[in-house]
Amino acid sequence: MRLVLLGPPGSGKGTQAVRLADHFGVPHIATGDIFRENVREGTPLGLQAKRFMDAGELVPDAVTLRMVAEVLDRAAAQAGFILDGFPRTLPQAEAFDALLDRRGLRIDAVLALDVDTEVVVQRLSARRTCPVCQRAYNLVFAPPKTDEVCDDDGAPLAQREDDREETVRRRQQVYREQTTPVRDHYEALGLVRAIDAGGREDEVFRRTLDALGDPVTA
C-alpha cells in the first residue's frame, strides 16, 4: 500500500498516518522527521538543508526530493509507505511522480483529510503544554483537572505561538494556497479519496479504511 496524505495543520493527518502505517504494516514517512534525522546525523543532504533552515529559508525541492528518495529506497519501504507532509507544492508532486515512475512504482491513493477551518481553530488554539514536564493538554478534548495548570507539577500551562488563533488561521490559508494545486493534480489522475476528518480519531480512521475499500473494524 502506497499512500499520500494531504491535510491542513490540525486535521489529524499525522495521527491517521501512524494508524494507517500500523494497519498496513508499512513505514510512516514524515518529511519533518526526515529533515531532523538528516540534520542530526550530519549527512550531506542534512548539511545542505541546515544551511537553508538556519537562514530561515525553505529547503529547495531538489534537496527534499533526494531525502525522500533515500527513504523510499530503504528495505522497509519496499512493501509500501504512508507519506505524510510531502508533496506540498505542485512542482514537488510532479517531481515525485517522475521519481516513482523511474522506480516502476505508483501511488494507490491520495487521502485528502477535509475539516472545517473553525474545527481546526478550536482544536489547535485549545492546545497547551506544561513548560516543566512537557505534558500536552487540550482545553476542549483533554483538559487538566485544574484550569490551565499541569496535573503533574502544578505549573501554569503555556500556549505555543503557532497555536494562537490568528496564527492558526494564517497557517490554514497558506496550506490552502500551496496544496490546492497538488490536490487538483491528483484529482485529475483519479487518485484522491476525500475523508471527512471531523469527529473522533476512531471515526476518521474507519472512514479512511472505508474509502480505501478496507472496511476493517478499527
Catalytic hit among 88, 135, 169, 206? 88
CA angle (34, 38, 42) in 5-degree steps: 170
Cα 124 to Cα 78, 117, 167, distances in angstroms: 35, 11, 10
Catalytic hit among 51, 74, 103, 160? 160
Confirm whether 13 is a catalytic residue. Answer: yes
Q: Are 18 and 207 in contact (CB under 8 A)?
A: no
Instruction: Supply the Cα-derived Rg of the chain in whole angstroms.
Output: 18
Catalytic hit among 50, 66, 171, 206? 171
Amino acid occupying residue 197: A
Handedness of CA 20, 201, 8, 168 (dihedral sign): negative
Helix (H) or strand (E) holding 110: strand 109-114
Handedness of CA 99, 110, 123, 125 (dihedral sign): positive
Catalytic hit among 2, 123, 127, 193? 127
Residues 43-71: b if buried by 16+ CB within 10 A, e if exposed: eebbebbbeeeeeeeebebebbbbbbbeb
Confirm whether 127 is a catalytic residue. Answer: yes
Catalytic hit among 2, 13, 128, 207? 13
Q: For residues 193, 197, 199 and 205, what is the CA-based torsion angle, rounded to 10 degrees? A: 50
Of 106, 80, 108, 110, the residue nearest 6 (C-alpha)? 110
Q: Which residues are catalytic?
A: 13, 88, 127, 160, 171
